[in-house]
Amino acid sequence: MVDFSAIILRFDQKGEKSGWSYIELPAALAQQIKPHEKRSFRVRGTIDGQLFAGMALVPMGDGDFILPINSKMRRQLKKQHGAVLQLSLEEDVDFKIEIPEDLEVCLLQEDDALMDRFMSLAKSRRNYFINYINEAKTLPTRAKRMTMTVEAMAMGLDFGAMIRLEKSRRSRE
């Protein structure tokens, strides 16, 4: 377990990360948590005494990482940008995201090749689709997101390309 303090920062203009709130995790600390890792990985621990698990550390280059702190988490912590947080982190070796049964049925119902294409994606890339579906608040939204995922697999699109395609479709309506 690595213990440290960090300030909540915010990206102004940083491409897809614009507007994100985050804390910085220098390479030296990241190496204590998971040595020799340069790619995103999951951590668990405490932030200001509150337990959490399954949060992704995102690589930023030169071995440094960031830990995104979303608005829901900031509300729970009662902290905003510029506030100092006390963190205790370790690698979350138990973290696993399962494929939702309804998505699995949809992918297999259309064509085995779609499930094969989905499963050929890196685990972290599959998780983008799974989380997007699981975060839907209504059944119609969930169904739409599953349809988008099946279509993306049929077209060979990654998550970002699927989202861009959907945005371009909405802008034409």
Q: Which domain holds residue 158?
A: 101-172
Q: How many domains does the chain have?
A: 2
Q: Tell me: the pLDDT tens digits for 109-126?
A: 756 788 889 988 888 889
Tell me if 143 sits within 8 A of 100, measured CB to CB: no
Sign of the Cα pseudo-torsion (81, 87, 91, 95, in order): negative
Q: Tell me: the pLDDT tens digits for 79-110?
A: 999 999 999 999 998 877 788 989 988 888 75
d(CA 115, CA 150): 9
pLDDT value at position 39? Answer: 86
Structure token pair of residue 51: 């337990």
Q: Judge if 21 and 83 occupy the same domain.
A: yes
What is the CATH number for 28? 2.40.30.100
Q: What is the mean pLDDT of residues 60-73?
A: 88
pLDDT value at position 110? Answer: 58
Residue 43: phi and psi, rounded to 5, are: -130, 160
pLDDT value at position 17? Answer: 65
pLDDT value at position 40? Answer: 84
Among 91, 117, 132, where does a domain finish?
91
